[in-house]
């Protein structure tokens, strides 16, 4: 047993037992098995799970726990299986390892890690990268190193869909496509693989935005009955909650799972909340209409645009409506496939990202370039072929330089969104407009301008496409005429100067 565990590390208890059960996966679900972890006045319950058999044919059971404060933690298991009951012990939670800042937390309309380090979850999507062969998974991880992505949207279950016709090497359940699957018997080998992938992402500082349900299926995983769904959630949350870089995405396009209704989703959310001792972020992502993101269990609005033409330009309205952070998780994909969501230019995707960023949201990247081998980044990972990913990384650089920003409606005239921190910094984004100059001081008979508070400003022109920042020197608030190059995709950053 581990004597020490770093803060936000995984403390794991392993037991062997002969449960005598027909299905040992009942343990942790309808056969009680958990541990109470205590430190000072706090008590947290971590639920156990069956992890298959060991080399000797013994049933293996585990409990995983993520300590979140340093010092001595004690624990005690309880179970109706005698061999799993009443194990006691303690361990010391030590300083976090250097790159582990703990799980993501909501901070107003933004995010931090548990240690209060700011988190800018500008990420990408590769739904089924875990389900691809090792060489491709390795390439995906290598590709991510070229980026500053902080989040990966990815599915627990494999994906069957356009350009997704290959079978995974390992299934999440016992069985096979021909003979069917036993939805009461998860496949521990698959979960080991998934955990490895999640840890690989953690090593690179990337959050795993783990999609628990999705509709793109021909194995039946999308159509399990209520009992199997509940078993599944209990299992996956029990196994994975101790990993710090996990976010739960209850569904991708929940509304395509047409046999499930709001009561089902609310019930699922309850199970996740009851099971997850680490309180990971939890969201639910739409295809058509949004889920009611005001529900208290939803930590942030995970949004797919609802209109073909106007997308992230609504970000500030969503933020105002829900008063939670917004991750813009499908704003379209750079690519050239047949469907409108997947054939944007890099420029258009980057524009959408900036429209969302400057309004206080966190846009997500994706790529769907047609390919003979059907390896499209959006689903399978592999190589990044496009030009927008570098621009998303540039937005992350902006975040790191500027800190979290909010949309500033009072500073924003009708044609120019301005985000920033009132009195400190202002970022105006021109999008598809391409002015050769702009005044930020005057009044006009018909049009509001973006008059800034009195004082001096460091003015920088940001070419969001070329990823350059041009210093224009210090300018006084009443002389803010900025000459611009007459190209699209420009921004101007004003930093208050002494």
Pairing of strands 437-439, 425-429: unpaired
Stretch that binds a second copy, among 94-102, 126-134, 229-237, 344-352 (CB under 8 A): 344-352
**Residue 238 is encoded by which pair of tokens?**
């029990």
Q: Which of 370, 401, 479, 497 binds a second copy (CB under 8 A)?
A: 370
Q: Are 326 and 301 in contact (CB under 8 A)?
A: yes
Asked if 439 touches a second copy (CB under 8 A), the answer is yes
289 binds a second copy (CB under 8 A): no
Name the segment binding a second copy (CB under 8 A); options: 15-23, 49-57, 243-251, 334-342: 334-342
CB of 130 to a second copy, least distance (A): 23
Smallest separation (angstroms) from a second copy to the CB of 37: 43
Query: With respect to a second copy, which residue has the nearer C-beta, 6 or 413?
Result: 413
CA of 298: how far to CAs of 191, 249, 269, 361, in Å? Answer: 25, 10, 9, 16
Residues 291-330, mask of contacts with a second copy (x by CB under 8 A): ----------------xxxx--x-----------------
Sketch the per residue contact string, 242 through 261, with a second copy: x for CB under 8 A, - otherwise. --------------x-----
Quote the least distance from Cβ 361 to a second copy, whole Å: 15
Should residue 40 be labelled a site residue for a second copy when binding is judged by CB under 8 A? Answer: no
Beta bridge partners of 71: 93
Could you tell me which stretch among 94-102, 321-329, 427-435, 454-462 binds a second copy (CB under 8 A)?
427-435
Short-list 455, 380, 478, 452, CA closest to 125: 380
Binding string, residues 391-420; x marks residues near a second copy by CB under 8 A: -----------------------xxx----
Closest contact distance (angstroms) between CB of 434 and a second copy is 5
Q: How far is CA 141 from CA 78, 122, 161, 334, in A?
A: 39, 17, 23, 20
Over the Cα atoms of the chain, what is R_g? 24
From 101, 150, 438, 493, residue interacting with a second copy (rule: CB under 8 A): 438
Choose among 441, 408, 435, 423: nearest CA to 491: 435
Out of 30, 92, 345, 397, the residue judged to bind a second copy by CB under 8 A: 345
Report the nearest approach of a second copy to the CB of residue 479 (Å): 15
Q: Contact, 423 vs 429, CB < 8 A?
A: no
Cα–Cα distance measured from residue 252 to residue 329, given in angstroms and rounded to the nearest whole number: 10
Distances (CA, A) of 5 to 10, 60, 270, 346, 462: 7, 22, 29, 44, 44
CB of 258 to a second copy, least distance (A): 10
Q: If binding is defined by CB under 8 A, does position 287 make contact with a second copy?
A: yes
Say whether residue 337 binds a second copy (CB under 8 A). Answer: yes
At closest approach, how far in Å is the CB of 254 from a second copy?
Answer: 13
Q: Taking a C-beta distance cutoff of 8 angstroms, is the pair 386, 421 a contact?
A: no
Is residue 336 a contact point for a second copy (CB under 8 A)?
Answer: yes
Strand order in the sheet with 104-107: 104-107, 110-113, 118-119
Tokens matching residue 293: 């993101």
Site map for a second copy, 447-466, x if CB under 8 A? x-------------------
Question: What is the helix (H) or strand (E) element at residue 45, kind and residue range?
Answer: strand 42-53
Region binding a second copy by CB under 8 A among candidate stretches 59-67, 175-183, 420-428, 431-439: 431-439
Q: At its nearest, how many Å lie between a second copy and the CB of residue 265?
A: 19
C-alpha span between 403 and 397 (Å, rounded) = 10
Query: Which region holds residue 155: left if phi is over 0, alpha if psi is between -120 and 50, else beta?
Result: beta
* Secondary structure letter of residue 229 according to DSSP: H
> With respect to a second copy, which residue has the nearer C-beta, 394 or 429?
429
- Rounded distance, CA 211 to CA 236, Å? 11
Using CB under 8 A, list all residues that contact a second copy.
215, 256, 287, 307-310, 313, 336-341, 343-345, 348, 370, 414-416, 432-439, 446-447, 486, 488
């Amino acid at each position: 047993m581990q004597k020490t565990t770093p803060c936000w590390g995984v403390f794991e208890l392993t037991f062997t037992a002969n449960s005598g059960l027909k299905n040992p996966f009942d343990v942790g679900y309808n056969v009680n098995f958990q541990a109470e972890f205590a430190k000072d006045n706090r008590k947290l319950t971590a639920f156990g799970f069956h992890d298959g058999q060991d080399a000797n044919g013994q049933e293996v059971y585990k409990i995983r726990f993520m300590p979140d404060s340093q010092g001595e933690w004690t624990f005690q298991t309880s179970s109706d299986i005698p061999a799993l009951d009443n194990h006691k012990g303690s361990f010391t939670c030590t300083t976090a390892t250097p790159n582990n800042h703990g799980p993501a937390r909501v901070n107003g309309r933004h995010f931090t890690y548990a240690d209060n380090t700011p988190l800018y979850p500008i990420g990408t999507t590769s739904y089924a990268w875990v389900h691809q062969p090792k060489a491709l998974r390795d390439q995906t991880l290598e590709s991510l190193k070229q980026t500053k992505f902080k989040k990966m949207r990815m599915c627990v279950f494999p994906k069957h869909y356009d350009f997704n016709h290959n079978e995974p090497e390992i299934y999440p359940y016992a069985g096979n496509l021909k003979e069917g699957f036993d939805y009461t018997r998860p496949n521990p080998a698959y979960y080991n693989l998934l955990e490895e992938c999640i840890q690989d992402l953690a090593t690179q500082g990337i959050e795993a935005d783990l999609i628990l349900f999705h509709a793109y299926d021909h194995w039946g995983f999308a159509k399990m009955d209520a009992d199997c769904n509940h078993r599944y959630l209990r299992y996956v949350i029990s196994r994975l909650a101790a990993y710090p870089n996990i976010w739960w995405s209850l569904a991708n396009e929940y509304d395509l799972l047409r046999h499930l209704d709001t009561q089902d989703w609310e019930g699922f959310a309850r199970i996740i909340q009851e099971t997850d001792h680490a309180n990971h972020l939890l969201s639910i992502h739409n295809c058509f209409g949004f889920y009611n993101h005001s529900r208290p269990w939803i930590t942030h609005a995970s949004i797919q645009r609802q209109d073909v033409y106007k997308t992230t330009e609504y970000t500030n309205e969503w933020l105002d409506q829900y008063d939670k952070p917004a991750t813009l998780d499908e704003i379209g994909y750079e690519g050239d496939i047949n469907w409108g969501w997947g054939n944007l230019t890099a420029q258009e995707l980057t524009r959408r990202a900036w429209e969302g960023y400057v309004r206080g949201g966190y846009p997500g990247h994706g790529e769907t370039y047609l390919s003979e081998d059907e390896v499209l980044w959006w689903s399978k990972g592999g190589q990044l072929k496009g030009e927008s990913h570098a621009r998303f990384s540039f937005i992350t650089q902006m975040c790191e330089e500027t800190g979290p920003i909010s949309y500033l409606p009072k500073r924003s005239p009708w044609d120019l969104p301005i985000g920033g921190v009132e009195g400190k910094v202002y970022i105006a984004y021109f999008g598809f407009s391409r002015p050769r100059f702009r005044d930020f001081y005057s009044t006009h008979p018909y049009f509001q301008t973006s008059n800034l508070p009195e004082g001096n400003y460091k003015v920088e022109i940001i070419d969001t496409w070329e990823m350059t920042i041009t210093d224009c020197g210090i300018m006084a608030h009443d002389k803010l005429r900025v000459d611009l190059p007459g190209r699209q995709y420009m921004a101007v950053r004003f930093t208050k100067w002494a």
